[in-house]
Amino acid sequence: MITLKVVLSGRVVSLILIIVLLATVVNTCLVISVYTKVSDVGQTDSSGFEYVISQTGSTFQVRNTLTKEIFSRVTSANDAINYALLRGNTIYLKGTFNLDEDVLISNKWNAKLVGDTATINANGHSIVIRGDDYTYSKYPLVSGLIINNGTLRIENTFGATITNMLFQNSKVGLEFANDNTWTEFSKIENCHFINCVESIAFRTPKGTATGSYESTEINRCFFNQQDHSIAINVEPNAELSCSQLQNIRIWIGEYGNTNQTGIRLAGTMSQTILAGAVFESFSKAPDRLFAIDILETTYTVPIIGVDTEFLGAWTAEVHNPYGKWNSSAGSAFREKDLPIPIGLSGTYGDPVTIQRTSLKIASFKPRIQATGNFNGETITVRIKLAYIDGSLSKEITKTFTNNTTLWLSDDEILEMFPSQNIITAIIIDATCNKNTTNATINISGYGITG
């Protein structure tokens, strides 16, 4: 048997090793994949987020913070965000982004889009969060972004939270809309709006949608307005009801001097309260500068809290050319010649209830007027107070046998007032002791809301 012994020189061994190494490198380079394994990249600012998205030139990088994989062949912010949201819920935006189309987040629960001052140069485009109806889009969070020349639109969505945002140089900053069901329980907090034509808009509903934007909170938000602009716009049939606008500050007349409005109301803000709101005008010669502008289509105005302030010079603090009822704790009201149905044969007629929409009653001084042709009959009128707990006061009765006008005395009102409770209504009814009467009973009065 012949044994061949091959001895390789050190130079040959080195050459072989170099060839193997080069082949490995070439093979790695030839693996065409949109995924890159990153093993040593730390991202402390994205802790707790499933994906980090950034933009370099015209491409977007989507990094999975758990696997460290990077999806890098993306040329659209919309595709990058939806790639991440198909695989998770939480996205951290890093750096500056330039949009050339809208971003649509559709039918997603618990989507979170957060950035520590990440800047979105939207170029007139929108980031839209919407559901086919509110049951498909719930609890989104958008926070920590600077949006330039663009809109964040929330549509058919329940429980959206928008915090720590800067909207600037935009036609519309933040927009709420309904085209199916409603958008309720939204929270807008610690946001700043600079140089927006409309800072926050609540749109007229479309299609089969209701106009409800109920239980919305706008808290610690600040608005720098320009000419021909509106801080908060409530369009016709939009219902920003049962909501709270707290600790907001609207600066008007600082940039320009014409046609600037704090709240433009054409829908309804029933039982919505302004608390700690400050409207400040810097104008020396205001031209159509209104803190609140109430339009003809307005159904109910908000409750203006006693801590709401109007500073500086205005065309009108509250512009109310159509005479809509303004309400506040401590506001005055009156009723005049309200007819009271008279029951017959000792049976009381249907009661009439005096209430103040969205408010309670602190005091009321009633006047009862009996007129008409009396023919020996006696008419008895009862007045009592209804309290918030459903209980009723002692009733005061007054009788009439001829044309008479009388005011309830202070002693009689004292008899009705509670030791301590909240008055929600005044109830009046009347009866005649005969089976017919030609007399009429009217009640008038004035009071203060509480």
- What is the pLDDT at residue 357? 66
Q: Give the separation between CA 145 and CA 265, rounded to whole angstroms.
A: 28
C-alpha distances (whole Å) from 348 to each of 39, 112, 366, 374, 393 are 85, 61, 19, 18, 18
Average pLDDT over residues 84-100: 96
* pLDDT averaged over every residue in the chain: 88
Does residue 308 have a pLDDT over 80? yes
- Copy the structure tokens of residue 48: 């707790």
Q: What is the pLDDT of residues 132-170, one digit of tens each?
A: 999 999 999 999 999 999 999 999 999 999 999 999 999
Does residue 328 have a pLDDT over 80? no
| Residue 413 Rama label (left phi>0; alpha psi -120 to 50; beta) | alpha
Q: Which CATH number fits domain 35-319: 2.40.30, 2.160.20, 2.60.40, 3.30.70?
A: 2.160.20
Does residue 24 have a pLDDT over 80? no
**DSSP code per residue over 40-95:** S---GGGTT-SEEEEEETTEEEEEETTT-EEEEEE--HHHHHHHHHHH-SEEEE-S
Task: Give residue 358's pLDDT band: very low, low, confident or very high (50, 70, 90).
Answer: low
Q: What is the pLDDT of residues 213-242, one digit of tens each?
A: 999 999 999 999 999 999 999 999 999 999
Per-domain residue ranges for the chain?
35-319, 332-449
Q: What is the pLDDT of residues 243-268, one digit of tens each?
A: 999 999 999 999 889 999 999 999 99
- What is the pLDDT at residue 15? 47
- CATH C-level class of 332-449: mainly beta
- What is the pLDDT at residue 8? 41
- Copy the structure tokens of residue 77: 């912010």
Q: What is the pLDDT of residues 174-187, one digit of tens each?
A: 999 999 999 999 99
- What is the pLDDT at residue 329? 66
The two domains 35-319 and 332-449 share their CATH topology (first three levels equal): no
What does the CA dihedral 325, 330, 335, 341 come to, rounded to 10 degrees?
110
Has this prediction a pTM greater than 0.85?
no
Q: What is the pLDDT of residues 399-446, one digit of tens each?
A: 999 999 999 999 999 999 888 888 889 999 999 999 999 999 999 988
Q: Give the separation between CA 442 and CA 177, rounded to whole angstroms.
A: 45
